[in-house]
A and B are shown apart, each in its own frame.
Chain A
Amino acid sequence: MITTKGLTKVYRSRGREVTALHGVDLHVREGEVFGVVGTSGAGKSTLIRCVNLLERPTSGTVTVDGVELTALPGDEQRAGRELREARRRIGMVFQHFNLLASRTVQQNVELPLEIIGLDRTQRRRKAAELLDLVGLADKARSYPSQLSGGQKQRVGIARALAGDPKVLLSDEATSALDPETTRSVLKLLRDLNRQLGLTVLLITHEMDVIKTVCDSAALMRGGRVVESGALTDLLADNSSRLARDLFPLGDFASGHPGRTVLEITFQGDTPAQPFVSQLARTYQIDINILGAAVETIAGRMVGRMRVELPGAHADNVVPIGYLREQGLQVDVLDFDANGAAA
Chain B
Amino acid sequence: MTWDQMQQLMWPATWETLGMVGIATLATLAVGLPLGLLLVLTDKGGLLQNPAVARVLGVVVNVGRSVPFVILIVALIPFTRWVTGTSLGWQAASVPLAVGAIPFFARLVETSVREVEPGLVEALQAMGASTATIVRKTLLPEALPALIASLTTTVIALIGYSAMAGTVGGGGLGNLAITYGYQRFETGFMWVIVAELVIIVTALQLLGDLTARRLSHRGEHAGPLALLRTATAKPGARDQDPVSSH
B141 touches A102 (CB 8 A): yes
Q: Does B16 make an interface contact (CB < 8 A)? A: no
- List of A residues within 8 angstroms of B219 by Cβ: 145
Q: Does B126 make an interface contact (CB < 8 A)? A: yes
A84 touches B128 (CB 8 A): yes
A176 touches B244 (CB 8 A): yes
Q: CA–CA, A178 to B45, complex, Å?
A: 33
A100 touches B141 (CB 8 A): yes
**Which of these, B49, B122, B130, contacts A54 with CB under 8 Å?**
B122
Q: Does A140 make an interface contact (CB < 8 A)? A: no
**Which of these, A78, A116, A148, contacts B131 with CB under 8 Å?**
A78
Q: Does B63 make an interface contact (CB < 8 A)? A: no
List residues of B (132-167) whose CB comes within 8 Å of A's CBs: 133, 137-138, 141-142, 144
B137 touches A98 (CB 8 A): no
- Whether A176 touches B127, Cβ cut-off 8 Å, given contacts A102-B144, A145-B217, is no
Distance (whole angstroms) from the CB of A203 to the closest CB of chain B: 14
Distance (whole angstroms) from the CB of A187 to the closest CB of chain B: 17
A150 touches B128 (CB 8 A): no
**Which of these, A87, A148, A175, contacts B244 with CB under 8 Å?**
A175
- List of A residues within 8 angstroms of B53 by Cβ: none
A115 touches B129 (CB 8 A): yes
List residues of A (44-101) whose CB comes within 8 Å of B's CBs: 52, 54, 77-79, 83-88, 90, 92, 94-96, 98, 100-101
- List of B residues within 8 angstroms of A79 by Cβ: 125, 128, 130
Distance (whole angstroms) from the CB of B32 to the closest CB of chain A: 21
Residue on B nearest A87 in the bound complex, by CB: B128
Residue on A nearest B41 in the bound complex, by CB: A77
Q: Does B215 make an interface contact (CB < 8 A)? A: yes
Q: Does A31 make an interface contact (CB < 8 A)? A: no
Distance (whole angstroms) from the CB of B168 to the closest CB of chain A: 42
- List of A residues within 8 angstroms of B215 by Cβ: 102
Q: Provide the A91-127 mask, 1 if CB < 8 A to any CB of B, else 0.
A: 0101110101111000000011011100000000000
Q: Is the interface of B mostly helix, strand, loop or mixed?
A: helix
List residues of B (59-80) whose CB comes within 8 Å of A's CBs: none
A96 touches B119 (CB 8 A): yes
- List of B residues within 8 angstroms of A114 by Cβ: 137
Q: Does A149 make an interface contact (CB < 8 A)? A: yes
Q: Does A143 make an interface contact (CB < 8 A)? A: yes
**Which of these, A78, A85, A102, contacts B142 with CB under 8 Å?**
A102
- List of B residues within 8 angstroms of A178 by Cβ: 238-241
- List of A residues within 8 angstroms of B210 by Cβ: none
- Whether A111 touches B127, Cβ cut-off 8 Å, given contacts A100-B138, A143-B222, A145-B218, is yes
B239 touches A77 (CB 8 A): no
Q: Does A181 make an interface contact (CB < 8 A)? A: yes
Q: Does A163 make an interface contact (CB < 8 A)? A: yes
- Whether A115 touches B119, Cβ cut-off 8 Å, given contacts A79-B125, A176-B241, is no
- List of A residues within 8 angstroms of B142 by Cβ: 100-102
Distance (whole angstroms) from the CB of A78 to the closest CB of chain B: 6
B218 touches A101 (CB 8 A): yes
Q: Which interface residue of A79, A83, A115 has the most chain B CB atoms within 10 A?
A: A115
Q: CA–CA, A177 to B222, complex, Å?
A: 22
**Which of these, A90, A96, A102, contacts B126 with CB under 8 Å?**
A90
- List of A residues within 8 angstroms of B26 by Cβ: none
Q: Does A146 make an interface contact (CB < 8 A)? A: yes
Q: Provide the B200-230 mask, 1 if CB < 8 A to any CB of A, else 0.
A: 0000000000000001111100100010010
Residue on A nearest B129 in the bound complex, by CB: A115
Q: Does B34 make an interface contact (CB < 8 A)? A: no
- List of A residues within 8 angstroms of B122 by Cβ: 54, 94, 98
Q: Which interface residue of A54, A77, A94, A150 has the most chain B CB atoms within 10 A?
A: A77
A88 touches B226 (CB 8 A): no
Q: CA–CA, A221 to B200, complex, Å?
A: 63
Distance (whole angstroms) from the CB of A239 to the closest CB of chain B: 30
List residues of A (122-176) whose CB comes within 8 Å of B's CBs: 143-146, 148-150, 163, 169, 175-176
Distance (whole angstroms) from the CB of B245 to the closest CB of chain A: 8
Q: CA–CA, A189 to B59, complex, Å?
A: 50
A94 touches B119 (CB 8 A): yes
- Whether A86 touches B128, Cβ cut-off 8 Å, given contacts A145-B218, A148-B239, is yes
Q: Could you list 19 further interchain pairs (A-B, Cβ under 8 angstroms) beyond the known A96-B119, A116-B128, A163-B128?
A: A54-B126, A79-B128, A85-B128, A94-B122, A94-B123, A95-B244, A98-B117, A101-B217, A102-B142, A102-B144, A103-B141, A115-B129, A145-B217, A145-B226, A148-B235, A175-B241, A175-B244, A176-B240, A176-B244
B: residues with CB less than 8 A from A are: 45-49, 117, 119-120, 122-131, 133, 137-138, 141-142, 144, 215-219, 222, 226, 229, 235, 238-241, 244
15 A-B pairs with CB atoms under 8 Å apart are A52-B126, A77-B46, A77-B48, A84-B129, A86-B128, A87-B127, A87-B128, A94-B123, A96-B117, A101-B142, A114-B137, A115-B127, A143-B222, A148-B239, A176-B244
Which 10 residue pairs across A and B have the least CB separation, nearest first? A149-B239, A87-B128, A84-B128, A98-B123, A88-B128, A143-B217, A98-B119, A92-B126, A145-B219, A112-B127
